[in-house]
Structure 1
Amino acid sequence: MQTGKTGVNVKRSIWIISGEASGDVYGAKLAAELRRLAAERGDELTVSGMGGPKMIAAGIDIRVDSTELGVVGVIEVLKHIFTFIGIFFRLAGQAKKERPGAVVLIDYPGFNLLFALMMYWNKIPVVWYVCPHLWVWGKWRLPVLAKICTKMLVIFPFETEVFAPTRLETEFVGHPLVDIVEERRNPEIVRDPASFLLLPGSRTMEINFLLDPMLGTVAELAKKHPALKFHIAAPREKIARLCREKYARYREKHPDTPEVGISCGDTSDWQQRAGTGLAASGTVTVESAIAGLPLVVGYKLNWVTILLASLVVRLYRGFFTMVNIIANREVYQEFLQHHFTPKELVPAVEAILPGGARRAEVETGMAEVKQLLTPNSSSAGRQAAEACYGVLEEQPPR
């Protein structure tokens, strides 16, 4: 049997903290790779933390189920503030008592920045995986982050430049979705040019703001392109149920709205099957680019939230959609707030339908983005796990 660097079996413990659907996927993948590394070294590794269904399925000892904690916006966060406070102090207390060899924080900056500070005070090493977008809304926090973190693992190549002025050890490990999308690719699925996919988001707030304009766009597209078939892919049943309810109400008011299928948990299949799509801005746009699905992208927030955000948030490279930021040009045409309307969305969608004026341009851009997100060696998940394990091995064995 292999043994750790000390020549004997070493018991190690690591925490992974995730608060959103995308981080849940990354956390599950990271845990699997960490366990492989531990087995190769002959170590005994315990993985605990906060996460959702993917991390639970990966066998992580989940202390807090984060399934419904992914909220966006000042008003939305304030509604759940006491829940967040309770979870924060409970987790911090457990970490202080158990003293894991390292804590890996995945994105989720509102919660994780404070958690990182708490871990720093308690001398528990912090690895930040999928760094917060401080280059958009908080460059002034870079020195703080550099002080409280042991290592920063970034998934976008330009992010190493962001942290260059600090002394924080920063490593580009590639985007985990490159591995994940390829692993779940079904060779039997053939892209259907007539299939149109709606991806209205993973949060209740997003469905409430975005689905109606999407359905209005669908109604207009159906009139002009009757061969199109429409489908909504939801990430989980609660969101699928909300989509069904809102679709039924919308169709009562607008009887000419075409049939729209609604399913749950099969987004990756639809990203391979659909010919074109319309999506909420978020991780799903990066996932779609890797899968090769041309999109039009948009987002809407509560007006109070957007006004407050405008005081601190600046568009990076002139865009808010991550695919465009990575490419440093407009691959997916994007629409924010009052621009997210059928009047503006319909012509943008028509331009990327098969044979459309921008179709080839978008396909080329998606391929470039995938290449930019691919690490130079091994896989993204493996590189991230090796970086995290390196921090673990610097700690005294338990």
Structure 2
Amino acid sequence: MKYYIIAGEASGDLHGSNLMKALKAKDANAEFRFWGGDLMQKQGGTLVKHYRDLAFMGFLEVAMNLRTILNNIKICKEDIRNNQPDVLILVDYPGFNLRIAKFAKELGIKVVYYISPQLWAWKEGRVEIIKKYVNEMMVILPFEEDFYTKHGVKSHFVGHPLLDAISTLQPISADDFKAENGLNEKEIIALLPGSRKQEVEKMLEIMLSVRQHFENYQFVIAGAPSLEKEFYQKYVDENVHFVSNKTYDLLRCSKAALVTSGTATLETALLNIPEVVCYRGSKISYAIAKRLVKNIKYISLVNLIMDREVVKELIQNELNTKNLVKELNFIMEGEKRNSMLDDFKLLREKLGGKGASDNAAEIILNLKK
């Protein structure tokens, strides 16, 4: 089969790459054309556009780059029309992908959505678009299946693909990791500031403001694959280091982490590393989001899945040096740390074990029957 996949950010690149691997194992004639990143490219096929050219964060940034976004949509439609894939696989990224879903369905192409947009949080009306133009909806959070059932849309809970990615990791020694990356002997506090340049600049400034309170630790920044190494050099000194494309290894060798909200909050929890979740957007974007998001008590996937506060979320004005120091101290040792680690075990159980990529590939292959 000819597969056309669209992933618009780093997490989509990861999940898209694992799905491609599962499809190749089941379909010897698999051909891929895709919008994604380096991980998907390693699986073979043709990369049309890299997600670094697609990732615009916040209402203001989207508005300022609207011409580029509309041009990308035009390019994508023309490419699909010219290549006529058997199936279009959409990975999250709803503002872009839902437009493409309508276009592809009208061309007679089968449309699969792998990893649902967070319609349960906002823009619930988009369910009607999915009902009209998506042949198969595959969800990775246990409560999403109930959400779609409520709206009369059949969906499949396939499990969470992060469990697949993490299950393949080889054991790692913290001492070896430090030696290989030029780190000192101190224990590590990992910093995951995000993947977009404007986001990283904003978050690193506040994350690094806690340094003087944790002089017995070293801070290590997880570099985003979409950003050049030179971008991070202004933050590096004798006790602040940087590693690129080694986020999982970094986390596994860390004592704790400060993590920008997003998929990374769940990755950190599944790797069993206590964390503080950080978020600060522009005042306008945050104000708009607060008006649009409904009945959602948390911003981190960990807390959303558990339906209670497992990890502390510091948002907007609450994200300051004083609060970061306090919350980070809570999870370095003692009862709060142990309680969080116990909750991470329950989280893994809720996500249903590994196999999401294989389950999704099987559903996609059944479309041709």
TM-score normalised according to structure 1 size:
0.86
CA shift, 1:315, in A, is 5.1
Separation (CA, whole Å) in 1 of partners of 2:19 and 2:171? 22
Matches within 5 A, 1:117-266: 117-189=102-174, 194-219=187-212, 221-222=213-214, 226-236=215-225, 238=227, 240-245=229-234, 247=235, 259-266=239-246
Instruction: Give the aligned partner of residue 271 of structure 1.
Output: 251
Classify the secondary structure of the residue corresponding to 2:267. helix
Q: Structure 2 CA distance, aligned partners of 1:105 and 1:189?
A: 37
Shift of 1:242: 2.6
Partner in structure 2 of residue 324 of structure 1: 303
Find the partner of 2:338 among 360, 363, 371: 360
Aligned residue among 260, 263, 273 for 1:280: 260
Q: Deviations over 1:219-266 (max 9, x none)?
A: 3x22xxx32222111122725433322x26xx8xxxxxx721111111
Contact 1:298/1:335 (<8 A) preserved: yes
Partner SS for 1:331: coil
In 1, the alpha carbon distance for the partners of 2:145 and 2:125 equals 16
Q: After superposition, give the CA deviation of every residue in 1:308-334 in whole Å (9 maximum; x if it has no partner).
A: 222211352x11111110111111100
1:298 corresponds to 2:284: no
Hey, what's the Cα distance between the residues in 2 that align with 1:390 and 1:235?
35
Question: Which residue of the partner structure matches residue 365 of structure 2?
Answer: 389
Would you say the 8 A contact 1:18–1:27 is kept in 2?
yes
Q: Shift of residue 188 of structure 1?
A: 3.6
Which consecutive unaligned segments of at least 5 residues does structure 1 have? 1-11, 252-257
Distance in 1 (alpha carbons) for counterparts of 2:362 and 2:205 = 44
CA distance in 2 between partners of 1:187 and 1:242 (Å): 28
- Give the alignment partner of residue 20 of structure 1, picking from 9, 16, 38: 9
> How far apart are the structure 2 equivalents of 1:362 and 1:34?
36
**Structure showing greater Rg:** 1
Which residue of 21, 27, 37 corresponds with 1:32? 21
Give CA-to-partner distance per residue, 1:144-190, whole Å, 9 cap, x none: 21121111110101100110123322001111110101212424447
Contact 2:195/2:227 (<8 A) preserved: no
Consecutive unaligned residues of structure 2, counting only runs of 5 or more, are 178-184
Distance 2:308 2:300 in 1: 10
* Separation in 2, partners of 1:239, 1:206: 15
| Match among 346, 353, 361 for residue 325 of structure 2 | 346
> 1:373 matched to which residue of 2?
351
* Structure 1 Cα separation of the partners of residues 171 and 226 of structure 2: 23
* 2:159–2:351 Cα contact (<8 Å) kept: yes
After superposition, the CA RMSD in angstroms is: 1.9
Contact 1:289 1:367 in 2 (8 A): no
| Cα shift readout 1:188-213 (whole Å, capped 9, x = no counterpart) | 44799932111111111211221111
Q: Is the 1:232–1:262 contact (alpha carbons within 8 Å) kept by the matching residues of 2?
A: yes
Aligned residue pair count: 361
Supply the distance in 2 between the matched residues of 1:344 and 1:239 (Cα, whole angstroms): 31
Distance 1:240 1:348 in 2: 29
Question: Are 2:92 and 1:94 aligned?
Answer: no
Contact (CA 8 Å) 2:277, 2:300: kept in 1 or not? Answer: yes
**Which position in structure 2 is the counterpart of 1:9?**
none
Give 1:146's aligned amino acid. Answer: K
Structure 1 residue 45 displacement after superposition = 1.9
Of stretches 203-212 and 27-36 in structure 1, the one that deviates more from structure 2 is 203-212
